[in-house]
Chains A and B, each alone.
Chain A
Amino acid sequence: MDPAEVEFLAEKEMVKIIPNFSLDKIYLIGGDLGPFNPGLPVEVPVWLALNLKQRQKCRIVPPEWMDTDKLEEIREQERKLETFTPIPSPYYMELTKLLLNHAADNIPKADEIRTLVKDIWDTRVAKLRLSADSFISQQEAHAQLDNLTLMEINTTRSFLLDSLNYMYKLRSNLQPGRSKDY
């Protein structure tokens, strides 16, 4: 899976915007949106919010978790615990990147938020690698990891699967008795 595909899936999340135009309710296949009235907040999916923002037709309201204090709390908890803490949104990395790239003016303390999210990401990926290493070195057959997001899984997927394949090959050497079929 590409990171771009994960980003595409993340764009389905809902975010609040404040439009500056008015439009009646629109009926899309995925659901109904609107009605849009200038100055009144409305919930739309991220893909629409970004499009409207680029055309300067709205103002994006940052989600509640995108706040320096909350993120600092999450970061501290992430560093203390050995397991993964539950995070407020399963697509935090993608949403941060999208919203901060396109709507940085609507989000207070954008740079700090970027740094905090990067810290949280680094801590979580380090924990993931540690757990992958212990999984392989103790040759366990089963591991359970809660609260992982798709993006994190995606970065290690190909490497972990390949190494587990090789380990399986080497382990099948330990059981001889395969017939030679030439």
Chain B
Amino acid sequence: MDALSYLSVPPGIGMEENFFSLDDILLSHERLPCRTESAFPRLGFLEKSSDSRDIPEGTKMEMPLWLAKGLYEKKRRVLSMELPKVYREGWRTVFGADPAVVDLQKMGPYYYGLGSQMLHFDSPENPEIANTILQTFIGRFRRTMDSSQNAYNEDTSALVERLDCLERSLFKSGQSGLNSFQLWEKGRSSHLTASSLVINYRKRKITDLQA
């Protein structure tokens, strides 16, 4: 059994994020296109393209998700969000046609997570976005399952490179199930090995000290 030296927190459920999850933290760094609805005085340094001291109303700029989520409010129109390319109509039909072919790593490695977060910014296309994400996952599931359960002792980088982060963690758990079964079948599961922590720390052995 692998024992990690820290407790890994999984990403959050649905539209919520887990505060401590590393995946969620990295995902909230993605930049999203948005449009300011009110002026931001003296914050001109945030926008790289213009040199003015403040950001006038109606500028189009890019903001990271964590900032956009904090500033977004329906009543006081501070920001209005636009959907990134991948969640728009054009790409949605591509995903609908054949989800298994798309390279999700290139489309932003957090396709599912970011898609779930985009639903916070009430856009009229929300139900379709949610539906597309779900159908994409279901369509790609078969491939992920087959490749993870059948690739034993091979170089899996070609299989993994088109998967997004959520699918990668699924792939890892499928591989670990397969590996532990194969190890058992070979009879090596009760083979005692030194813990990786001990090897890495290069513990001083008493035999070396006495010599």
Q: Is the interface of A mostly helix, strand, loop or mixed?
A: helix
Contact A162 B170 (CB under 8 A): yes
Residues in B with CB closer than 8 Å to A172 are 13-15
Residues in A with CB closer than 8 Å to B177 are 154-159
* A72 contacts B by Cβ under 8 Å: no
Contact A129 B146 (CB under 8 A): yes
Contact A170 B126 (CB under 8 A): no
The complex places the Cα of A101 from the Cα of B184 at a distance, in Å, of 13
How many Å from the CB of B72 to the closest CB on chain A?
Answer: 9
Contact B126 A4 (CB under 8 A): no
Contact A4 B190 (CB under 8 A): yes
Contact B137 A176 (CB under 8 A): no
How many Å from the CB of A182 to the closest CB on chain B?
Answer: 8
Contact B137 A178 (CB under 8 A): no
Query: Which of B170, B183, B187 touches A163 (beta carbons < 8 Å)?
Result: B170
Name A24-56 residues within 8 Å CB distance of B.
none
The complex places the Cα of A33 from the Cα of B109 at a distance, in Å, of 60
B-contact bits for A139-182, CB 8 A (1 contact / 0 none): 10000000000010011111100110011111111101010101
Name B141-193 residues within 8 Å CB distance of A.
141-142, 145-146, 148-149, 166, 169-170, 173-174, 176-178, 180-181, 183-185, 187, 189-190
Contact A178-B14, Cβ < 8 Å, known A133-B141, A163-B141: yes
Query: Which of B142, B173, B176, B189 touches A137 (beta carbons < 8 Å)?
Result: B142
Q: Is the interface of B mostly helix, strand, loop or mixed?
A: helix
Contact B138 A139 (CB under 8 A): yes
* B16 contacts A by Cβ under 8 Å: yes
A residues in contact (CB < 8 Å) with B: 2-4, 7, 97, 101, 129, 132-133, 136-137, 139, 151, 154-159, 162-163, 166-174, 176, 178, 180, 182
15 further A-B contacts with Cβ under 8 Å, apart from A137-B138, A155-B178, are A2-B180, A2-B189, A3-B189, A4-B190, A133-B145, A137-B142, A154-B177, A158-B176, A159-B170, A159-B173, A159-B174, A162-B169, A169-B116, A170-B14, A180-B120
Can you report 21 residue pairs joining A to B where beta carbons are below 8 Å apart?
A2-B184, A3-B181, A4-B189, A4-B190, A137-B139, A139-B138, A151-B181, A154-B177, A155-B178, A163-B141, A167-B138, A170-B14, A170-B112, A170-B116, A170-B130, A170-B137, A172-B14, A173-B14, A173-B116, A173-B130, A178-B15
- Report, nearest first, the 10 A-B pairs whose CB atoms are least far apart: A3-B184, A172-B14, A173-B130, A159-B174, A158-B173, A4-B189, A170-B134, A174-B130, A169-B13, A155-B181
